[in-house]
């Protein structure tokens, strides 16, 4: 059901040929997805309960990460994580941490689902945000496997209320428990006949708090930054993002910039280098002998460290806001950094709230971004005020993870 949407929504658009490259990575992963699951689960310790968590991509995995950490601390169990997007799979499979198995999620066909569930044999399943795979959910319900949806948003204009929404509505009924981000979602679920939902908040806040409190440093970045304030443009996803942040760098040659593309390719990096007038460095091309004093821009050409890199920044721009895929705005906010982003936030709870309380800023074009940046550069008191409010906002919104974890652990204990 979600294949076409994921293939189009999960692809950056500002570099020709880049969409094709990501699709090919997806196709290669799917060719062996079922076989890899069967083989990978063949030697897992079956004396332990198995928790299966699915995240569409790396962004959604930010919700799953603190849940996984908390479960592992409290119960000896197998953690199996699946991804639909190559971005998430590649990043997490390289550094799985306490995760026991990482797989691509096989396509949602009856045969694939049957083979997958026979191989994994989950004692419970946990999906992030907006996952309505009909065959997976149908078979999970048939097999009596408790299934949870975390950080759900059910909007008034969502597909559940459309004439074509029968599959979506039936998929909702498969969930044992739905944790939503707001009251309106609970009301909408009640209209749909689902009385198993509750407002829980967003585990992403717990994740960013965990990341921010984790000791982490990077010698190359520290050499590049020195003692200078840095503007960090993270998850640059769309041509509008690229145009704005490179032009901002050109307008402020006295400020150092770190640019982190959402997808890494030589074409992407070259597009940035061609547009920036000051010197550019590629992170992976730097070594101990690299002279960083003449470069204005560092391009981070690897995936997985963005949430940690924000700690080196004084201001941030988060990409994706000119599409439906605005990336995490609380990753920089947790460090007390003023955050800017594109205007497509109507359906987003967190950036809308950040704008309301004055710690986030919507920008429609380079002139608005430039005006916002100039104001903050010259007003340290304003920056300090934002930092204080941002820290308070994140702290007030942590705590969603324990409620989810408690439900999962209770379910596992009940199934023993």
Q: Which two structure tokens, joined as six digits, stand for 122?
A: 């989950």
Residue 245 has pLDDT above 60, yes or no: yes
DSSP summary character for residue 287: -
8 Å CB contact between 76 and 109: no
Q: Which two structure tokens, joined as six digits, stand for 129?
A: 């945000």
What are the pLDDT digits (tens) for 133-171? 999 999 999 999 999 999 998 988 888 988 888 888 888
Give pTM, 2 decimals: 0.78
What average pLDDT does the segment 10-16 reach?
A: 36
What are the pLDDT digits (tens) for 356-407? 999 999 999 999 999 999 999 999 899 999 999 998 999 989 999 999 999 9
Least Cα distance to 245 among 352, 344, 341 occurs for 341
Q: Which of 38-52, 73-87, 264-278 has the lowest mean pLDDT?
A: 264-278
How many whole angstroms separate alpha carbon 10 and alpha carbon 300? 20
What are the pLDDT digits (tens) for 310-343? 999 999 999 999 998 899 999 999 999 999 999 9
What are the pLDDT digits (tens) for 83-111? 998 888 988 998 899 999 999 999 999 99
Residue 29 has pLDDT above 90, yes or no: no
CA distances from 63 to 37, 139, 152, 205 (A): 23, 24, 11, 8
Return the pLDDT at 3.
34
Least Cα distance to 310 among 284, 330, 327, 293 occurs for 330
- Percent of the chain whose pLDDT exceeds 70: 95
| Backbone φ and ψ of 77, nearest 5° | -150, 170
Return the pLDDT at 20.
65
What average pLDDT does the segment 178-199 reach?
A: 92
Residues sharing a CB contact under 8 Å with residue 297, sequence separation 6 or more, in sequence order: 249, 256, 257, 258, 259, 272, 276, 278, 279, 280, 281
């Amino acid at each position: 059901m979600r294949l076409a949407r994921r293939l189009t929504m999960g692809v950056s658009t500002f570099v020709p040929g880049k969409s094709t490259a990501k699709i090919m990575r997806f196709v290669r992963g799917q060719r062996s997805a079922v076989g890899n699951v069967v083989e990978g689960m063949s030697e897992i310790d079956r004396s332990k309960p198995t928790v299966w968590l699915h995240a569409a991509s790396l962004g959604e995995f930010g919700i799953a990460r603190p849940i996984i950490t908390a479960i592992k601390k409290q119960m000896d169990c197998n953690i199996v994580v699946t991804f639909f997007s190559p971005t998430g799979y590649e990043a997490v499979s390289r550094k799985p941490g306490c995760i026991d198995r990482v797989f691509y999620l096989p396509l949602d066909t009856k045969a694939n689902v049957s083979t997958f569930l026979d191989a994994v044999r989950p004692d419970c399943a946990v999906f992030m945000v907006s996952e309505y795979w009909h065959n997976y959910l149908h078979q999970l319900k048939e097999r009596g496997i408790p299934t949870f949806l975390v950080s759900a948003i059910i909007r008034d204009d969502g597909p559940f209320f459309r004439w074509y929404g029968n599959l979506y509505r039936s998929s909702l009924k498969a969930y044992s428990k739905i944790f939503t981000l707001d009251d309106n979602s609970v009301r909408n679920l009640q209209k749909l006949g689902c009385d198993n939902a509750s407002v829980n908040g967003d585990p992403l806040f717990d994740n960013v708090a965990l990341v921010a409190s984790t000791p982490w440093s990077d010698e190359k970045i520290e050499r590049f930054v020195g003692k200078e304030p840095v503007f960090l443009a993270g998850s640059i996803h769309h041509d509008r993002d690229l145009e704005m942040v490179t032009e901002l760098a050109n307008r402020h040659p006295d400020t150092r910039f770190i640019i982190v593309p959402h997808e890494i390719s030589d074409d992407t990096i070259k597009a940035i280098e061609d547009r920036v007038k000051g010197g550019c460095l590629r992170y992976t091309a730097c070594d101990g002998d690299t002279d960083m004093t003449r470069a204005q821009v560092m391009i981070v050409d690897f995936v997985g460290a963005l949430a940690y890199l924000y700690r080196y920044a004084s201001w941030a721009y988060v990409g994706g806001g000119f599409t439906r895929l605005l990336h995490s705005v609380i990753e920089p906010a947790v460090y007390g950094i003023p955050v800017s982003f594109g205007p497509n936030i109507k359906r987003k709870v967190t950036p809308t709230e950040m704008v309301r309380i004055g710690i986030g800023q919507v920008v429609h074009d380079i002139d608005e971004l430039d005006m916002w940046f100039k104001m903050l550069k010259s007003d340290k008191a304003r920056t300090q005020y934002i930092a204080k409010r941002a820290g308070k906002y994140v702290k007030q919104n942590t705590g969603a993870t324990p409620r989810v974890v408690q439900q999962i652990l209770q379910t596992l204990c009940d199934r023993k």
